[in-house]
Chains A and B, each alone.
Chain A
Amino acid sequence: MDLPTVWFCIIALLWLGYLFLEGFDFGVGMLLPVLGRRETERRVLINTIGPVWDGNEVWLIVAGGAMFASFPGWYAGLLSTAYLPFTVLLLVLIGRGVAFEYRGKVDTARWRRAWDTVIVLASWIAPLMVGLVLSATVFGLPLDANGDRVGGPLVILTLPNVLGAVAVAAFSLLHGAAFLALKTEGDVRERAHRFALRFGVPLLLPVVGLLLVAQLREGAPWTWIPLLIALLTGLAALARQAVGRDGQAFVLQGVALAGAVVTLFGALWPNVLPSTLDPAWSLSIAETASSSYTLTVVTWVAAFGTPAVLVYQGWTYWVFRKRIGTKHIPPVHAA
């Protein structure tokens, strides 16, 4: 494999890491009012991701930075063309991050309700926007020869892209439920478990739909393999959930996500952002890749940096590995 292809795979991997990690913490936010009926229960939910959500979000920042470094034309083309969805994504991520940190810092119901609203809205809107822009990069956008958008700011709202938005949100919701079943105890765990079982199949449907559309429109013969893996492990995850094997269900869901991401990026290859107007204007790996010197530099950084990240980020999850229940929540300690 040449370096540009390696970096195409690394970008896919970074998005996979992001969707896996922030996927469940979006899900936790989405489920806040559903599974957290009392204040202490809502605090249980928030504290399952309290120490880790920020580290999860860095995967997005690094995915962006890595795209800039390795495929400037892709980074510039996608971000400027999907300007409004990215703006909305940034706004909700700002609100959500601040909400987690500030929610417990004043002890009044009104204060908490306000931040809860921000958390829930942002946790729904963010995966929708992520899904929208990821689908757009797979299915393409109306780009001219310079890589700039032709048409208004809403040309991104095509049917497949909207399906992608729904798919990422649906996956996040299911993934959040599986995570909570694994990380909590008591009533919250019970509800998360029941939620995952009851809504598992309907939530997987948009994901499967997205993969099939991608496969039929852009896919290669080999991408049927990850697609089938995604489908089978997704169902297997639900089966393990049904028998109460939370850990296995959560891991299998991760494998399903990996299958889905490989299918989508496999369908995208060798392009990075197709033009729906003229295939000659599509942005490809070869055209948008940085010089081999730059790619070599960032490869060294990634080769040493990424394993270290995986080790210490994994260690965080180990330190905070215990299930959390309402009895573990200390009294409010606010200014």
Chain B
Amino acid sequence: MDLLDIARWQFGITTVYHFLMVPLTIGLAILVAGMQTAWYRTGNERYLKMTKFWGKLMMVNFAMGVVTGIVQEFQFGMAWSEYSRFVGDVFGAPLAMEGIVAFFVESVFLGLWIFGWDRLSKRVHLACAWAFSLATVASAYFILAANSWMQHPVGVEMVDGEPRLSSIWAVLTNNTLLAAFPHTIFGCFAVAGTFVLGIAAWKVWKRDRQGMPHDEDRRVWHKSMRVGAWVALFSFVGLAISGDIQGKLMFEQQPLKMASAEALCHTEQPASFSVFAYGDVSRPDCESVKSITVPFMLSYLAHGDFSTEVKGVRQLQDEYAAKYGTHYPDDPRLGDLAGERIEYQPNLPVTYWGFRFMIGFGAVSALAALGALWFTRGGRFPRGRLWGPLALASIATPFLANVFGWIFTEMGRQPFVVAPNPNPSGVDGVWMYTAQAVSSGVSPGEMTTSLIALTSVYGVLLVVEVFLMVRYARGGFESVMPHKSSDDSEDDSDSGGSGSDDVLSFAY
């Protein structure tokens, strides 16, 4: 592997990993803030239990999202210095904004929330929960603004061959961003909803099988489960609608990504939607793809009617070559690619299957949520042996949908790191090849070292995180609710008067 491949694998691995933590954090933080609000307004202990339990799982996950996020902030400069120099005038601003506006709020108010039970008034403590959870949403907005600019550069003019920011407003209201943001946030709630659904259903299933009574705790688990299922179901409706809007936009902005997603070799009018390929998509040659198709459907997905032409990979490749050149410049920094022919078609199997797995796993988890709501109506829960494991397995599906969605959208943008706009609602003439973006001063050995080290550490930490989550899930409410009576007695014997509530109501 040369430097470019290593850098791409590193970015892919660290980013996908980071985005396992992020959607759960965002979705769960808001749900926990909602549960705490319910407790604040009703004073019902049931909602306190929910807040404490789901809040604990959120914290286990939050830490991982924070620490893996630092890698994201720094690896642009470390591994992609040419990219950072080229886009710095535009791309750094949303990152800096994210730091100043969102990260500080997140980290400070999370600390206050964790340690502030009883130290702060209930109202202020609740406000802290909303502060850090909404800040996670704000941070998503800024980082998606940066990503959307790479998908569809706006708000710049070219000065001396480099993009200069001319309107931050245009960057922050990029139509790509306005479509990607709701889609991503719905994706976060789909993850969090299914997570709550899966774990709570497993708890109910386990209690019922052990013949435990239908007491208050069961009602709280059952309630959690149904809240999760409703959130998930609502999110999937949002995902379908926002995904449709985003798709239509992508047919304009990155037609090759979408043609590859369909393995649409030749321009069709009207175009059929490929449901499933049984031919060979593993070769880059799109001619050999055979698939089950739905006539007219692709025209609808692309343009909202059943007759419009959709351009195929072949025609688009020729158009791109005519517009952006047929060969890479003969620059030694491009390595093996210097002077080579430019392959404008993204990796076909990855794009094709990425798109289908995103939709497929999303649909499966939507069905799971719908099924859960039906089978558990009125306090019911089915008795079968497989329902518990099935509930746990369903947790994986929205994570997989998210991962494949991002792999699709980032791999579908190749060979560009900053995609040009053939049908420019953005600025024409701004683009950068991924091959040009990698750091030229870093050796493959260094990059391999960091790739191996980061991947190993991430692997170990994933095991630890899942281990902790399983322990807390097993422990249930017992392990997260403060045990009042024992606390008091120890204080009296130990500290002689100055109670610990005064200084620390929670401690690591």
A49-107 residues with Cβ-Cβ distance < 8 A to B are: 50-55, 57-58, 60-62, 64-73, 75-81, 83-84, 86-87, 90-91, 93-95, 97-98, 100-106
B57 CB to closest chain A CB (Å) equals: 10
Check if A68 sits within 8 Å of B60, measured CB to CB.
no
Q: Do B168 and A297 touch (CB < 8 A)?
A: yes
* Apart from the given pairs A55-B108, A83-B446, 4 other A-B contacts in the complex at a CB distance below 8 Å: A65-B92, A66-B96, A328-B500, A335-B480
Asked whether any CB of chain B lies closer than 8 Å to the CB of A322, the reply is: yes
Residues of A at the B interface (CB closer than 8 Å) are 43, 46-47, 50-55, 57-58, 60-62, 64-73, 75-81, 83-84, 86-87, 90-91, 93-95, 97-98, 100-106, 144, 146-150, 152-153, 290-291, 293-294, 297-298, 301-302, 305-306, 309, 312-313, 316, 319-320, 322-324, 327-331, 333-335
In the complex, the answer to whether B472 meets A60 with C-beta atoms within 8 Å is: no
Contact code string B144-175 (vs A, CB < 8 Å = 1, else 0): 00000000000000010000111010000000
Complex Cα spacing A25 to B496, Å: 30
The CA-CA distance from A152 to B495 in the complex, in Å, is 58
Total inter-chain residue pairs, C-beta < 8 Å: 287
Chain B positions 70 through 95: 1 when the CB is less than 8 Å from some CB of chain A, otherwise 0: 11011011110110110111111101
Interface residues on B, range: 35 or more
- Knowing A62-B99, A91-B454, A309-B100 are in contact, say whether A55-B111 is a contact too (CB < 8 A): yes
Partner of B66, one of A54, A75, A330: A54
- Given contacts A50-B507, A58-B107, A147-B85, whether A305 and B70 have CB atoms under 8 Å apart is no
The listed residue (A78, A94, A333) touching B67 by CB distance below 8 A is A94
Q: Known: A55-B108, A84-B449, A293-B166. Is A78-B503 also a contact (CB below 8 A)?
A: no
When distances are taken between beta carbons in the complex, the residues of chain A under 8 Å from B454 are 87, 90-91
* Distance (whole angstroms) from the CB of B132 to the closest CB of chain A: 10
Tell yes or no: B112 within 8 A of A by CB: yes
**Residues of A contacting B320 in the complex (Cβ-Cβ under 8 angstroms):** none
Interface assignment of B475: CB less than 8 Å from any CB of chain A: yes
B74 touches A316 (CB 8 A): no
Contacts of A94 in B (CB 8 A): 67-68, 70-71, 457, 461
Other-chain residue from A61, A72, A327 in contact with B89 (beta carbon distance below 8 A) = A72
Contact B74 A86 (CB under 8 A): yes
Asked if B84 and A102 sit within 8 Å, CB to CB, the answer is no
Shortest B136–chain A CB gap in Å is: 13
Contacts of A69 in B (CB 8 A): 88, 92-93, 95-96
With A65-B73, A294-B93: A80-B442 Cβ-Cβ less than 8 Å: yes
Q: Can you pick out 18 interface pairs between chain A and chain B where the beta carbons lie within 8 Å of each other?
A: A64-B77, A66-B99, A69-B88, A71-B88, A76-B82, A77-B81, A84-B446, A87-B450, A94-B71, A106-B471, A290-B88, A294-B90, A301-B96, A312-B105, A319-B120, A330-B504, A335-B56, A335-B480
